[in-house]
Amino acid sequence: MVNVALLSKWHVHADDYARQANQNEHIQIKVVWDENVERGQEWAKQLTVPFEPDLKEVLADPEIDAVIVDTPTNLHKEIIILAAEYKKHIFTEKILAFTVEECNEIYEAVNQNQVKLMVSLPRLTENYYLYAEQVLNEGLLGKLTSIRCRLAHNGAVPLEGNPNGWLPKHFFNKEECGGGAFIDLGAHPIYLTNRLAGPVKAVIARLQPQSENEVDVNSVAIIEYENGALGTIETGFLSSGSPFQLELYGTEGALLIEDDKIRLKSKQLGEGWHTPDTLPTALPLPMEQWISSIIEGKIPSITEKDVQGLTLINQAAILSQTQGRRVEKDEILTVKK
């Protein structure tokens, strides 16, 4: 049994991870800590576990094997490194950190202390992603020339009695979040396209805020890949009814995924569009992979490369927006480590 401490309910997915933990036969939630004491006490009461206001007391407890981190993103580096130093395994919400340099520091602490770190990038486990990967690997699209991914929702569309929409107010706090729609919801298109298109060469981004918010709520990035393909990543908090879309185009065909509808056209398959009869079996969710890595030593499918690549795009996009220009990958990677 892996005894777990929940560290903060700041993120909107914190309840989801608590539920996944409770549903996993190998996990036991033992305690809650939160930088917001009142919120933490209420959450602990709901979960019928103790609340501990002192983080170091939680981490020093020898009965605690691991932590699930849902703090503000600007606290990730400090808290995750501290947890690693106390020899606790770590599961955390994306993104890991604001810069590649900070990610390197976190992984250095994780590796030195021989603990398991998992960042939740769940769409890399989905059957549609695995199918897209399969289609590329089989050469059915020929040479990949273009990839587009869109994921958006209406979280910042004003509601009656809530001018900020249904997202919590702190999701628009630039200091805590590091950004808005792109760094949060845009993470999913970023890590999906990174996997499918390969190494990135350069980024151009437009991260557009609403007048009353300092973070972006409607964002687009154009990605240049080393293989010559172009990528378009679209996200936002202002789109009602927007479907998830993943599109791949190549010299031999096209793959279009829109929610649960999948269509493939390939010269190698004859004329017209084809719908797959079956899809690959989905992989275990990130939390399941994390626990398997702790208990059985299994190697997760979600890797440090995925996590670093996600941060790289975010860091480059913010620089592109701030300076109004194209940003080369090497500009980010040559920052002093």
Segment 166-180, tens digit of pLDDT: 999 899 999 999 999
Per cent of the chain over pLDDT 70 is 98
pLDDT of 161 reads 82
If you ran DSSP here, which 8-state letter would residue 280 be given?
P
Nearest partner of 242 among 111, 127, 147, 149, judged by Cα: 149
CATH number, domain 2-120: 3.40.50.720
The residue written with tokens 């390197």 in the block is: 104
Nearest partner of 191 among 273, 124, 112, 278, judged by Cα: 124
Residue 336, pLDDT > 60, answer no
The DSSP element (H or E) to which 137 belongs, if any, is helix 127-137
pLDDT of 210 reads 80
Arch. (CATH architecture) of 123-283: 2-Layer Sandwich (3.30)
Q: Exposed, middle or buried by CB within 10 Å (0-12, 13-18, 19+), for 259?
A: exposed
- Domain 123-283 in the same topology as domain 2-120: no
Segment 202-230, tens digit of pLDDT: 999 999 998 666 899 999 999 999 999 99
Segment 98-114, tens digit of pLDDT: 999 999 999 999 999 99
Domain positions in the chain:
2-120, 123-283
Segment 122-164, tens digit of pLDDT: 999 999 999 999 999 999 999 999 999 999 999 999 888 888 8
Full DSSP string of 65-87: -EEEE-S-GGGHHHHHHHHHHTT
Mean pLDDT, to the nearest integer, of 249-271? 96
Dist. CA 314–CA 62, nearest whole Å: 36
- Which residues neighbour 275 within 8 Å (Cβ) at sequence distance 6 or greater? 262, 263, 264
- Assigned token pair, 60: 């020093």
Q: Exposed, middle or buried by CB within 10 Å (0-12, 13-18, 19+), for 281?
A: exposed
